Every structure is written in C-alpha cells, then in structure tokens.
Amino acid sequence: MAAESGKNWVLTVTAQTPTNIAVIKYWGKRDEDLILPINDSISVTLDPDHLCTTTSVAVSPAFIHDRMWLNGKEVSLSGGRYQNCLRELRSRASDVEDEQKGIKITKKDWEKMHVHIVSYNNFPTAAGLASSAAGLACLVFSLAKLMNVRDDHSRLSAIARQGSGSACRSLYGGFVKWIMGKEENGSDSIAVQLADEKHWDDLVIIIAVVSSRQKETSSTSGMKDTVETSMLIEHRAKEVVPKRIIQMEEAIKNRDFPAFARLTCADTICVLLIDLIKIKAFTFQDNQLRRKMESFQGTPQVAYTFDAGPNAVLISHNRKAAALLLQRLLFYFPPNPDADLNSYVIGDKTILKDAGIQNMNDIETLPPPPEIRDNNPTQKYRGDVSYFICTRPGRGPVVLTDESRSLINPETGLPK
C-alpha cells in the first residue's frame, strides 16, 4: 500500500485535450472491442482555446472505488471501453513520489488504488462534435500523467483508441494520421503526427452547429450497420482510401489547398453516400452556396466535411477567404431575432471583425453575395443554424499546472 496511508492525501493532475475533425474519414471497424478500423484516417486537430475537454484526475488512499463525473453529473465507469482504458493504464503505471506531501505510490499499489475523474467539455456533448474523442484522449492523457505511465504519445494513442476510436487522433496537435494497423491485438493501430499546428496555421475552420441535441444514431451503431449492409464499404476501405491517404499527406505537406479541399469534400460525400443514415446531413447543404464557393476565383476556396452528426465543418485556406465565407454563411443563415451576436458566432471573434460584422444589424443588412446579386431574391434559412464556431488548427494535450484550473477539490477529492 502507498506510504503514509494513514493520511488522507489527494494527488491530482489536470489536463486539457483538443477535439479533431477527420478530413479522410474513419468509418467501419474490423474489431468492435479493440476498436480497430478498416482504413487509415487523417484529421485536423482543432484549437483547444475554442473546443476542448478539461479533465482532472485524482488518487487517494481514501477512495473506495473508481468514480467519474462528466459535465457536472456522476456517470458510470462500468462500460467496457472505460474499463479497457483503466486496465491498460494501470498495467503501465510506474512509481510516483511526492516528497513534499510525503506520498509514495509503487507500481504495484496502482492495481489496488482508485481514481476519481472529473471532466468537462466546453461544447455540446454527443452532438457530433467529437466530444468522445477529446474526452477519452483527455482521460487517458491525464491518468497517464497521474500514474507516471512512461509510454510516448503513440503508445497512449493505442490506449485512447480503445475508449473511442477517433480519440487516438486527439493525442497530437496539427495534422494527424491514424494508422489502421495489421496486428490482431491492435498494437500497431496508433496515431502519428504528420505536421504540427504551425505548419499550416492560416487555415480557418468554421463549424455550423445545426443542432446541439444528442445524436439519434451513435457512430458505433451507424458504422456497424454500414459494415454489415453496404457493398461499397469494402471498396472504399481497400481501393479508395489508401490512394486518398497518400494524396492527402502530400497535400498537407505542400499546403496545397485545392488538393486538400477536393479530397476532404470527396471523402465526406463518399461516406455520406455509403451511409444512408447520414443522408439527413444533406439538409444543411445548400448546393447553390457550395457550388458558388467552390468555383469562386477558379480554385476551391472552401473544403467542407461532416462528422457523425449533421453539423457542417467548413475549412477556408486563409483569413480573407474565411471572412468572405462567414459573410455568406450569415447572409444565408441569419440568427433568430432574439439571438445575440456573441453567442451566435463563438471562438475566434477576429474572423467576425474581418467580415466587417460588429452587431446584429450588420448581419441583417449584409448585401447579397456578388454571385447572386443579379438573380431573384434567394431563399434564407433563418434559425436553421444554432451557432457558428470559428477556429483553426490547434495544439495537442497539455497538463494545466495552475491549481485554480483543477476541477477537483484537493481536500475532498470530489468535484469542486
């Protein structure tokens, strides 16, 4: 047992982890328990200043079982995915010593000691904004720090993968590839960083949150249905994606936006077409807007992609293009009259400033985009978008050393 066990000390670690959006999609598993995919995927990590999970973890001799609180509510840790992560981490834990507090936990102690996990997502959970990716990556990263797991980020990514597939990609910032791997035990199904966030930092990502309600179909059951019923999925995994992965790696390396946009759009449409459950995401897509934006100035100015929910993710190649895109989005999707600008466009507000929009009236008086000026009045979709998030490629997980950021009371080991 840990030294000083007479004392009710509490040792905590707090970490922050980003979400990610796949531009070459993970869709379909070859092993449901180990969460092994049928193809490689590539993602962009989103700036945690705008979308992130913060998780505090604690260990104390006073804890009598593992417990977790998510967004203020206690949730069960009994699910196989959480249990797999906890087991893997415990088996890799090392000695921990804090001389100042008189704490010593040996590698063996970790098998018996219990942890408390308190997590908070600063965006709607399970609305298709990859909350489980950020959440499970943060859980694994913070516990790995607490338990002194010495494995590198790639090895940690293989643990996070067992909690939620796309979580493995949230262990890195910038541009990340999840290698599907070949081993039956999943040991080579890991994430690697292709380039960090500074490599291509003029990209701007605008997410149109169509609905922040919980998804009706989970990604897990959607994928299972696809693999069981679609004849196209095998062709996608074996023939289509391997070529796209090579091309996408090249596009990212060369910051080739037209190629990046073409591949991103092609891949999301490929998944949408294969998976009829996701067809409802098309309700957002305004084909006229999309075509106009694509042909603007001759080369694609915007890449679009959808994740497991109906929210649209639009990627612009620089701030100027992003400001023009935001003007068009706000023209077509104005807010309901009772909305306020600060909650209708969140994240990086400077894009709003670049778009020349300072108040709600500026949205109402936006002129029609030049490409439709000569046409008859166009349809608007007031209130169809709940809000927009402006963000950019961002960094990977970090430990927050400032005690005031901890979500756990250091005296009681319970949520603050």
Q: Summarize as ranges the residues that interact with ligand ADE (CB under 6 A).
A: 53, 70, 119, 121, 125, 131-132, 135-136, 139
Q: Which is nearer to ligand ADE, 54 or 316 (CB)?
A: 54
Min CB(125)–ligand ADE separation in Å: 5
Q: What is the DSSP string of 147-180?
A: TT----HHHHHHHHHTT-GGGGGGGSSSEEEE--
Distance CA 397, CA 161 (A): 15
Min CB(147)–ligand ADE separation in Å: 17
Min CB(22)–ligand ADE separation in Å: 17
Q: Which is nearer to ligand ADE, 139 or 248 (CB)?
A: 139
Q: Which is nearer to ligand ADE, 132 or 226 (CB)?
A: 132
Distance CA 253, CA 260 (A): 10
DSSP state of 394: -
Min CB(329)–ligand ADE separation in Å: 27
Contacts for 85 with CB less than 8 Å, ≥ 6 apart: 136, 139, 140, 143, 159, 160, 162, 163
Q: Which is nearer to ligand ADE, 131 or 316 (CB)?
A: 131
Min CB(119)–ligand ADE separation in Å: 4
Distance CA 149, CA 161 (A): 16
Q: Which is nearer to ligand ADE, 15 or 357 (CB)?
A: 15
* Other beta carbons within 10 Å of 120: 18
Min CB(84)–ligand ADE separation in Å: 13
SS3 of residue 413 by DSSP: coil
Q: Which is nearer to ligand ADE, 30 or 81 (CB)?
A: 81
Beta strands in 310-411, from DSSP E residues, in sequence order:
312-316, 345-347, 387-391, 398-399
Q: Which is nearer to ligand ADE, 15 or 203 (CB)?
A: 15
Min CB(166)–ligand ADE separation in Å: 12
Q: Which is nearer to ligand ADE, 131 or 327 (CB)?
A: 131
Q: What 3 state SS string does 34-89 have?
A: CCEECCCEEEEEECCCCCEEEEEEEECCCCCCCEEEECCEEECCCCHHHHHHHHHH
Min CB(286)–ligand ADE separation in Å: 30
Residue nearest to ligand ADE (CB): 135
Q: Are 97 and 103 in contact (CB under 8 A)?
A: yes
**Which amino acid is located at 133 in the chain?**
A
Distance CA 14, CA 141 (A): 10
Give CA 120 to chain center in angstroms.
14
